[in-house]
Amino acid sequence: MSQGTEHHVEEAEHAQHAARNPFDRRVALSMAIVAAALASVTLLSHRSHNEVTVKKTEESDAWNYYQAKKNRGYMYAADAELLEALDKEAGDSPRRGKTDELIKKWQDTEKRYDADAEKLQEDAKKLQHEGHVAHISSNFFDLGELGIEIALVLCSVALLAKRKEFWLIGISVGALGFVVAMGGFFVEQLKPLLQMIGWY
């Protein structure tokens, strides 16, 4: 029975020694830093995906408004043409020429709707571009998040296996993941490079 007690005391001493192991403390500290970076990048990723959804909704609304203006302009143009045709058909009738003012008004209204539609088209294209940039940013944040998650796993393996190489690889992968995630803030500046590799 005393041998069993000695065994438990010896196990407790080993556990106490492991808790004081400097390698374990360094790995645990680096895991805490990696976890904080992961939380930050995950937040950025989620917000970026939300921004993509918002921009796509705004873009859709802008294109719908543009289409409504164009349709309204077409309607006024068609009505003006129809009124002109009816006026010509009137021949020597007393109503001939009485529609000139209304035709002019409808043609002016059509021009105004066309001008409004052009502005709306520019706005829609701008929103389309912003949504595209937000989508690319979210891809960077997602890839960075994946790298940091892998880093956390490798650091955990290093802690369990007591192998320094897993820890160093984990830290390297985490740093690379963080750099990739930060690329999400510089999509416009990275555009030429992204176009070369087909990401833009």
pLDDT (tens digit per residue) in 57-108: 999 999 999 999 999 999 999 998 988 888 777 666 666 667 788 888 999 9
CATH number, domain at 116? 1.10.287
Q: Specify if 4 maps to a domain.
A: no
pLDDT tens digits for range 144-183: 999 999 999 999 999 999 999 999 999 999 999 999 999 9
Paired tokens of 139: 């891809």
Q: Specify if 168 maps to a domain.
A: yes
User: Could you write out the DSSP letters of every residue in 41-88?
Assistant: HHHHHHHHHHHHHHHHHHHHHHHHHHHHHHHHHHHHHHHHHHHHHHHH
Looking from the CA of 74 toward its CB, the CA atoms found within 13 Å total 6
Q: Specify if 65 maps to a domain.
A: yes
Q: Give the residue numbers spanning the domain of 66.
A: 22-197
Q: Which of 2-11, 134-143, 191-200 has the lowest mean pLDDT?
A: 2-11
What pLDDT is recorded for position 112?
94
Residue 153, sorted as left (phi over 0), alpha (psi -120 to 50) or beta, turns out to be: alpha
Contact 169, 156 (CB under 8 A): no
42 — pLDDT class (breaks 50, 70, 90):
very high
Contact 41, 144 (CB under 8 A): yes
Nearest-angstrom CA–CA distance, 79 and 88: 14
Instruction: Give the distance, in angstroms, between the CA of residue 161 and the centroid of all CA atoms in the same chain.
Output: 38
Q: Specify if 103 maps to a domain.
A: yes
pLDDT tens digits for range 7-29: 545 655 655 555 578 999 999 99
Distances (CA, A) of 135 to 86, 145, 157: 53, 15, 33
Q: Specify if 151 maps to a domain.
A: yes
Percent of the chain residues past pLDDT 90, beyond the cut: 70
Mean pLDDT of 108-117: 93
Q: Specify if 13 maps to a domain.
A: no
DSSP E strand stretches across the chain: none
Mean pLDDT of 45-52: 96
Q: Specify if 8 maps to a domain.
A: no
Contact 55, 192 (CB under 8 A): no
What pLDDT is recorded for position 95?
67
What pLDDT is recorded for position 10?
64
> How many domains in the chain?
1
Checking if the pLDDT of 4 tops 80, the result is: no
Contact 51, 134 (CB under 8 A): yes
What pLDDT is recorded for position 200?
84
Q: Which residue has the higher pLDDT, 189 or 20?
A: 189
Q: Specify if 7 maps to a domain.
A: no
Distances (CA, A) of 91 to 35, 78, 87, 172: 85, 21, 8, 87
Nearest-angstrom CA–CA distance, 157 and 173: 14
